[in-house]
Structure 1
Amino acid sequence: MKFVCNKQELLKGINTVIKATYTKFQKSILECIHIVAGSTLTLDAFDTVTAIRTNIYGDIEEPGQTCIPARILQEIVSKFPDSEVTFESQEPSGVRLSCRSSAVVLQEMDASEFPAFPEMEGDSFTLKQGDFKRMIDKTAFSAYMGEDKPVFTGILFESGEDTLSTVAIDGIRLAKNTIHMEVPGAIRAIVPAKSLKEVARLMGDEEESVQVSFGETACYIRMENTDIYTRLLDGEFMKYESIIHKTYKTRVKVETKLIEKSLEMVSVLAKEDSSNLVRLEIGQNSIELCSNSEYGAAKDVIPVLVEGEVLKIAFNAKYLLDVFKVVEEESVFLEFNDSLKPCVIRPAEGDAYLYIVVPVNVRS
């Protein structure tokens, strides 16, 4: 095997696939990046859950393949000067990497043992990368972070009559994002949020397309030069519709940026307290936000439009801020029933998203 490619192009390919390398045990073939020099130059990695494959440009002089530990390969290439990098097999089981006056010989693993990249299954559909990335970004923060409820560490994809939605739940909050499009068949699949976050980071031009399909056990995502495979999570996702209140006693219309800036200000002190608590007092035409800690007290009042009853309620400030940081619309509705029931956050117009945040039970 022998090929030559640009250092930055090679490093981009390495950084694309390295998140899918297996890190729990060294000396495993899965800790490697699999490099194939054939009709094209291909890099792929697989961590038993997610596989990523990408093509990069290179001048292939002799075809072949190799497997090199990902961390070592990344660090070596990143230290090379910005120039052309040459890969060349070296007997009996090594690969020589050279760049200008620098050269390194690395031990390789048996590339024939590396798993074949899974073939795409199921009916596929296409959407813009910008839309797909937003669906992930606007829900992934609500996925569960622990290990005791694996099904909730994923994002649910579900289709409607002419919609595709993503939903994430961690027990304290819910995030749902919806776009209007037709997809083939009925979709209800749970994809690991960790894998989807990596997919979102790889998304390029907003207008470029991404091809998605769901098989019985896996999700497949294809972009121009990169393919991603990730296994679906087993289990039954919560029937979340039952926790969405259809009525409210208090409804507040507020400017998104206004409440985001207010929450950021009072959070300076709130985060110094272990509960990260912010109290909201909803009046006739304003919300008073306040927080306390051993360092002092903060208060801010913002104007809003209020329907219904006045209300005092408290939240973990981070959970509210996470929502307002991803909302792009100018204003939103906050809907309440009482101080112990979840707040529902909806767009002022349309049905593009829905968020639920459970309040904190505090004494008056």
Structure 2
Amino acid sequence: MRIIIERSNLLKSLSHIQRVVERRNTIPILSNVLLKTEDGAMRLKATDLDIEITESVPASGDVPGATTVPAHLLYDIVRKLPDGSEVKLETTGDGAQMTVSAGRSTFRLQCLPEADFPDITAGAFTHAFTLKASDLARLVERTQFAISTEETRYYLNGIFLHTIETGGALTLRAVATDGHRLARAEMPAPAGSEGMPGIIVPRKTVAEIQKLLGEGAETVAIELSDSKIRFSLGAVVMTSKLIDGTFPDYQRVIPTGNDKALTLDRQSFSAAVDRVSTISSERGRAVKLALSGGQLVLTVNSPDAGTATEELPVGYEAEEIEIGFNARYLLDITGQLSGDSAVFMMADPGSPTLIRDGGDEGTLYVLMPMRV
């Protein structure tokens, strides 16, 4: 294999590919990136056996071939090469080493054979559809913060993506919950998603697709089956295994009879919660919301540091109520809201509260209260 490739193109591709590769691997080949030349391009592939990313980069070369080299090492080398340089990649006759050269710099890396590199993309995809990148980014951003990190409840370690009939129209819905809060975002279902299985996209895959969506792609092609999902964004293709589990019936925890409506300014409320929670070293400490008339009083008590209170004018006409919430969870939710206002629908101090975004009717949040 002998190929010449522009440094900036190679670096951009390696930055995508190497993120999937774990820093510590008991299987040596999983530390490597597969490099394969084909039709005036070089194809890069990396996997951790759960996620696989491939990308093609324009290149010129007269000797086709394939090999694998350490992913993080190659990325670090290319990152440190001069801007605008051309990188020459060439394997030795026996394929045991690859020379990386640019200008006066030359590196020789140990290779492992292409035949040892695993392939997780086998299997047919039953459904395929295309979304605007901005629509998928919205579904992911509005829900990902509520993904559980508790490994014992592995079926909550991702975003539940499914279609559902609402108001006579088919809706694509994303849901995440950790048992303390629930986030739900939805959009009109795209053509091709009809009859798709309900799938749970793992947390690591969600994080990777978020990064890729932030790089300017306009559309995302999605293919899925019961066990895998594939995202195609231009030259980048990411395939991931799905979580093999059953997502709980989240509809049961979304309250329908909450009749105490609190309307408030999102930014003022978020800033006030942030200020009063400063009194506590634990971001998860409860903040008490005391409501009467058009007044909200936020209170945080810390046995070690003292007490903090702040008053806010709000829209509230129901009976007086005192309810407590985890301060960090409140900040997480208000940080996702896109409108200037938020609406809290409450029942009593011990029941879940429903939170709606004044600027996005397609999202809602459920937050469990805390004792205060």
Aligning the two structures, in what range does the TM-score lie when normalised by the shorter sequence? over 0.9
Residue number in structure 2 paired with 1:320 = 330
* Contact 1:250 1:310 survives alignment (8 Å): no
* Contact 1:124 1:212 survives alignment (8 Å): yes
Aligned-residue offset at 1:117? 5.7
Q: Structure 1 residues 7, 117: closer, same or farther in 2, change over 3 A?
A: farther
Residue number in structure 2 paired with 1:248 = 258
Residue number in structure 2 paired with 1:286 = 295
Distance 2:207 2:215 in 1: 17
Q: Structure 1 residues 290, 206: closer, same or farther in 2, change over 3 A?
A: farther
In structure 2, the residue corresponding to 1:289 is in which secondary structure? Answer: strand
Distance 1:117 1:38 in 2: 20
* Contact 2:283 2:328 survives alignment (8 Å): no
Aligned partner letter, 1:287 = L
Aligned-residue offset at 1:286? 2.1
Distance 1:16 1:138 in 2: 23
Residue number in structure 2 paired with 1:347 = 357
Distance 2:289 2:245 in 1: 37
Structure 1 gaps of 5+ residues are: none
Aligned partner letter, 1:176 = R
- Give the number of aligned pairs: 361
Q: Structure 1 residues 295, 14: closer, same or farther in 2, change over 3 A?
A: same
1:221-232 aligned within 5 A:
221-232=231-242
In structure 2, the residue corresponding to 1:116 is in which secondary structure? Answer: coil
Residue number in structure 2 paired with 1:58 = 59
In structure 2, the residue corresponding to 1:25 is in which secondary structure? Answer: coil
* Contact 2:338 2:357 survives alignment (8 Å): no
Q: Structure 1 residues 269, 57: closer, same or farther in 2, change over 3 A?
A: farther
In structure 1, the residue corresponding to 2:237 is in which secondary structure? Answer: strand
- Equivalent residue for 1:127, pick from 110, 131, 139: 131
Residue number in structure 2 paired with 1:75 = 76
1:1-364 aligned within 5 A:
1-26=1-26, 28-39=28-39, 40-82=41-83, 83-92=85-94, 93-116=96-119, 118=121, 121-161=125-165, 162-182=170-190, 183-204=193-214, 208-270=218-280, 272-273=281-282, 275-293=284-302, 294-348=304-358, 351-362=361-372
Aligned-residue offset at 1:201? 0.5
Aligned-residue offset at 1:302? 1.6
Distance 1:61 1:184 in 2: 46
Aligned-residue offset at 1:185? 1.9
* Contact 1:130 1:206 survives alignment (8 Å): no
Root mean square deviation, CA, Å: 1.9
TM-score (norm 2): 0.92
* Contact 2:146 2:177 survives alignment (8 Å): yes
Aligned-residue offset at 1:86? 1.0
TM-score (norm 1): 0.94
In structure 2, the residue corresponding to 1:308 is in which secondary structure? Answer: coil
Query: What is the aligned-residue identity percentage?
Result: 27
